[in-house]
């Protein structure tokens, strides 16, 4: 469904949507915190950029990111696995306790369900044991 919506949007509409989302996402950060976050994420982004670019015109980053997500490219997966933990560690403390209590179980459920896709029962059990150990269970 999301892919259909994105395909129907013009590039300008997508850019405005992304700008609005980013503005809301970073609204509560001080300039120093924004700078710190960018400084910590920039090396990861720069490391992944050559793989993401693959000879494409860098002029339209939004379109390129959408294309990468559609194609399920390894570069996008690598970038997500490097940036997502960093992003969560910076943003979760800013989310209210009640919202975190709702969010964390949903996030863990998605990680376990989608992350164990294609695993044998034994592999899934091992993964669950590792997660339980981290959670202190």
Render pLDDT for 6-22 as a digit per residue (tens, 0 to 9).
Answer: 677 777 777 777 777 76
Q: How confident is the model at residue 37 (pLDDT cuts 50, 70, 90)?
A: confident
Instruction: Tell which residue, 86, 84, 59, 56, has the closest CA to residue 68.
Output: 56
Pair of tokens at residue 58: 């860098």
Portion of the chain with pLDDT greater than 70, in percent: 64
Q: What angle do CA 70, 14, 36 make, to 5 degrees?
A: 90
Query: Please, where are the H alpha helices in 92-120?
Result: 97-115
Can you tell me which residue has the tokens 């709702």? Answer: 102
Pair of tokens at residue 43: 């090396």
Q: How confident is the model at residue 48 (pLDDT cuts 50, 70, 90)?
A: low
pLDDT tens sequence across 77-132: 777 787 888 888 888 888 899 999 999 999 999 999 999 999 999 999 999 999 99
Polymer length in residues for the chain: 137
d(CA 39, CA 24): 20
CB atoms near residue 45 (< 10 Å): 13
First-to-final CA distance of the chain: 37
d(CA 48, CA 41): 11
């Amino acid at each position: 469904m999301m892919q259909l919506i994105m395909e129907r949007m013009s590039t300008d509409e997508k850019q405005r949507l992304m700008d609005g989302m980013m503005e809301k996402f970073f609204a509560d950060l001080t300039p120093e915190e924004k700078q710190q976050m960018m400084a910590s994420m920039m090396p990861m982004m720069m490391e992944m950029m050559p793989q993401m670019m693959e000879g494409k015109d860098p002029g339209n980053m939004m379109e390129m990111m959408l294309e990468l997500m559609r194609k399920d490219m390894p570069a996008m997966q690598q970038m997500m696995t490097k940036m997502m933990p960093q992003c969560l560690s910076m943003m979760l403390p800013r989310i209210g306790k009640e919202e975190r209590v709702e969010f964390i179980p949903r996030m863990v459920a998605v990680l376990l369900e989608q992350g164990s896709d294609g695993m044998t029962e034994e592999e899934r059990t091992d993964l669950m044991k590792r997660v339980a150990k981290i959670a202190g269970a």
